Structure 1
Amino acid sequence: MVNNITEINQFLDLGCNAVEADVKFIDAYPKNAFHGQPCDCDRYCDSSEDLAKYLNYVRKITTPEIAASGEVGHRK
């Protein structure tokens, strides 16, 4: 469960090669990345991120030209 941009960076810095996002739908439309309770693995699961912002960030850090430009902060 990696449901905000800070957590994406945190887990990538730890060496993970994949992230799992939980998508919350409101009125049949995807709205945000959010898990909520109950939570496993002794994690804090109440953080969330606007889904468009979350996916745009993932797109940027996985597009070599954009990632190499430094546009997305410390991600390489």
Structure 2
Amino acid sequence: MMTILISLFVVAWVAAALIGSQAYFRGEQRKPIHERNWASESFDFLAKSITGEETDYMERVPAYVVVETYASKRIGK
């Protein structure tokens, strides 16, 4: 009986880890990204191996856009 419970626990843990990884990488492939990580080959490789999908850079947008200081000060006036 104890072996069945342990096996069930292990199977449930592995399933949760796989589902969580899928959800994490699918979410990361779609949310805004910082410029320094824009073309991260290691992320793309890992995300594709886990989700089976390429990262769509038409869907991802830069998280922070550098704005010219002079222009941003003039907007507030």
TM-score in terms of structure 1 length: 0.26
Larger CA Rg, structure 1 vs 2: 2
- Return the structure number with greater helix share: 2
Which structure carries more relative contact order (alpha carbon 8 Å, separation 6+)?
2
- Return the structure number with greater strand share: 1
TM-score in terms of structure 2 length: 0.25
